[in-house]
Structure 1
Amino acid sequence: MTQLQSAERRIKWSYMDHWRSNGPAGPVDQWHTVKTMSAFLKQIKATGFDAIDTFDFRIWQMYGTYGGPAKYQEMVQDHGLERIVNTFHAADYDTRTYAPHLPETHENILEDFRVTMGRWSEIELDNIIVMPATLYYDMEPVTEDKLKHTADLWNKVGEITAGYGVRLTCHHEFFCGIQSEQDIDAFYSFTDPEYVSLFVDTAQHCIAGLDPVALYNRHAHRVSGFHFKDTRNVATGDDHRHRPDSEIMAPTTGKWFYEMGTSHGLVDFEAMMTAVRDNAYEGWISVEHDKANKEGGDYSESTAISRWYAANVLERIYS
């Protein structure tokens, strides 16, 4: 067995299914038809990915078009991919009903997860990924009490997901209420490592002004996965405070996210992969291309470049 084959066995690559392809009437979502989904899965497999991640809200299309998560996963496997590894629970953070720092909304959130995990129970997932706080402008000022209320909620949610054999893991967007180094460290000090994990997004942490490698090294024992993507910009001023979506509305930056291997990228992926190796992480790394088609970008191109970079740069480090 070669060094690269050995590395491939300990680290596998999953693709987070942000995707658009160009159709006659404009961009086409891969979930549009069975044909567009098949074309998407063929491209993901052809570039060398092992599996996919998806969004929680896609479950309705799985039921409507394929007959449920298990039936959709059969299609994924028929295209040569292993399975669905993680799902991202993209909740509507409305402070009236869904705000982790507000205890009066907790029972609603807990019931949401009881129902959600039942829906996904027919397949094996590694992680259900959440943004652990509301949008920053709905949580500020961030206080110790708010962090403790938030931690208390996710400890309870983690118990629910653990009952289904799934890790509850937290993903900190740059516009999330918990996004600074100080607040992230405090949040994890208040949560139970048995029930709450960290999902490192290399670009999001860079945009928020953090070093994702240093963050990972501090919390490596809590990390259950990664989104590997790059950025060329750090958020400034009120970039993290724009409604309804700072990734779209922040006036300073037209495109936040780029593929690994991009020129002028801020993420030191070679240092990150070295840290992954040195901390003996084994399992899945997810590649993500959120809004890759902005400013003339192309999802298929970004995906191929990232997979080349993973195979020819990162896997050589992890040996």
Structure 2
Amino acid sequence: MKWSYMDHWRSMSPHGPIDQWESRTSMDRFLKQVAAVGYDAIDTFDFRWYQIMGEYGSVANYQEFVQERGLERIVNTFHAADYDPRVYAPHVPETHANILEDFRVTMDRWSGIELDNIIVMPATLYYDMEPVTEDKIKTTAELWNKVGAITKDAGVKLTCHHEFFCGIQSRAELDTFYAHTDPELVNLFVDTAQHCIASVDPIDFYESYADRVTGFHFKDTRHQDLIGDYRRRPDSEIMADTTEKWFHEMGDEGGLVDFENFMRAVVRHGYEGYLSVEHDKANKLGGDHAESTAIARWYAKNVLEKVAAEEVAR
């Protein structure tokens, strides 16, 4: 069982808060901390390519820098697209040519290393897509089938991650989307907290699509969105006045995700890839990314890995 860390991170410096991409020194400290508490690898964002090229010269050079700090490799990259219904929106056919070209360029940029997955949010923000209709979901699915063919040719799986504010987020919308996508080309990346916030049982959802799941974001939440915060502009995670902090580390006392039973399901279905831990906006309300990262790794080792071993022994 191997654990990867999705590289959300903030820390303090003499000139205020920074992320790990501030300098080689800050990246060096970040990677050593992640490796020291027992993670095996990292995930990153596709838009970091620009910083990688500027600081390290190539993605292969950056991966070598990562490996020299004790981590195995970069496992996944998240393609955080700037969705705009005028030029880049999966439910708008007129934007598909632009999106397809974007992915051809993207796969070339990352061709210097071996990635497992390129992760996408497969729809625009909900308020830009609604009313969400079956026809719009079918149009969206058609696009991702084509994108999946591009990534497959590059040796990388296309996998879909559904935020609670994504245009495809309810169980009915999810089922419609996966019914119209090719399982050979379009996979699923389960985010335990995001689905829970959207009132989708992450265990039941995972078990329904386990044969298409190519990764996870393990994080917890204390809240479900029961009043339509997913429609808030411009950022549901920031603008919702009902919830100051959406995400917490695994093992959080008030968390809603049943991680022990989730892990049992993962083992039963024979998943063999990396398990990714994510702490999006962990520094809100006085939180600390380094602390959350260590706590989550403790929980993974002392709770989830033991649960997994027990399930294997049955």
Structure 1 and Structure 2 fold alike (TM over 0.5)? yes
Displacement after TM superposition at 1:26 (Å): 2.2
CA distance in 1, matches of 2:290, 2:88: 35
2:191 pairs, out of 170, 187, 201, with 201
Q: Helix, strand or coil for the counterpart of 2:154? A: coil
Q: Distance in 2 between matches of 1:120 and 1:85?
A: 12
Choose from 210, 232, 237 the match for 1:242: 232
Q: CA separation in 1, counterparts of 2:192 and 2:228?
A: 21
Alpha-carbon distance in structure 2 between the residues aligned to 1:308 and 1:263: 14
Aligned residue for 1:149?
139
- Residue 283 (structure 1) aligned to one of 273, 276, 284: 273
Q: Which residue of 1 aligns with 2:67?
A: 77
State the TM-score, normalizing by the size of structure 1.
0.96
In structure 2, what is the Cα distance between the partners aligned to 1:218 and 1:228? 18
- Compute the displacement of 1:238 (Å): 2.5
Within a 5 Å distance, the mapping from 1:26-45 to structure 2 comes to 26-45=16-35
Aligned counterparts of 1:207 and 1:23: Cα–Cα separation in 2: 33
- Residues 81-116 of structure 1, C-alpha deviations (whole Å, 9 max, x = no match): 000000000000100011101111100000000000
1:181: Cα distance to partner?
0.3
Q: Any residues of structure 2 matched to 1:291-306 within 5 Å, and which?
A: 291-306=281-296
Counterpart of 2:220 in structure 1: which amino acid? D
- Within 1, Cα distance between the matches of 2:80 and 2:282? 19
Matching of residue 58 in structure 1 with residue 53 in structure 2? no
* Cα distance in 2 between the residues matched to 1:250 and 1:109: 30
1:53 alignment partner, SS class: strand
Segments of 4+ moved more than 4 angstroms: none
1:253-275 CA-to-partner distances (Å, cap 9, x unmatched) read 00000000111100000010000
In 1: Cα distance, 2:218 partner to 2:191 partner: 6
Within 5 Å, give how 1:43-192 maps onto structure 2.
43-192=33-182
Q: Distance in 2 between matches of 1:59 and 1:236?
A: 37
Q: Distance in 1 between matches of 2:216 and 2:29?
A: 25
Partner Cα distance (1:119, 1:278) in 2: 36
Deviations along 1:289-313, whole A, 9 cap, x unmatched?
A: 0000000000010000000000000
* Aligned residue number for residue 316 of structure 1: 306
Structure 2 length as normaliser, TM-score?
A: 0.98
3-state SS of paired residue (1:113): helix
CA shift for structure 1 position 237: 1.5
Partner Cα separation in structure 2 for residue 303 and residue 165 of structure 1: 30
* 1:263 counterpart = 2:253: yes
Structure-1 residue corresponding to 2:312? none
Counterpart residue number, 2:13: 23
Distance in 2, Cα, partners of 1:25 & 1:77: 29
Aligned length: 309
Partner SS, residue 67 of structure 2 = helix
Shift of 1:68: 1.3
Deviations 1:21-76 (A, max 9, x none): 11123211100000000000000000000000000000111100011110000000
SS in 1 for 2:190: strand
CA shift for structure 1 position 317 = 1.4
Partner SS, residue 290 of structure 2: helix
Q: Aligned partners of 2:12 and 2:22: how far apart in 1?
A: 12
Q: Which runs of 5+ in 1 are unaligned?
A: 1-10
**Cα distance in 2 for residues equivalent to 1:26 and 1:240:** 31
Structure 2 gap ranges (5+): 310-314
SS of the equivalent of 2:2 reads: strand
1:243 deviates by 1.3
TM-superposed CA distance for 1:284, in Å, is: 0.5
Once residues 298 and 73 of structure 1 are traced to their aligned partners in structure 2, the CA distance between those partners, rounded to angstroms, is 26
Measure, in 2, the Cα distance between the counterparts of 1:61 and 1:244. 26
Q: CA RMSD in A?
A: 0.6
Distance in 2, matches of 1:250 and 1:100, equals 25
Structure 1: distance between partners of 2:16 and 2:197: 30
Amino acid in structure 2 at the alignment position of 1:141: P
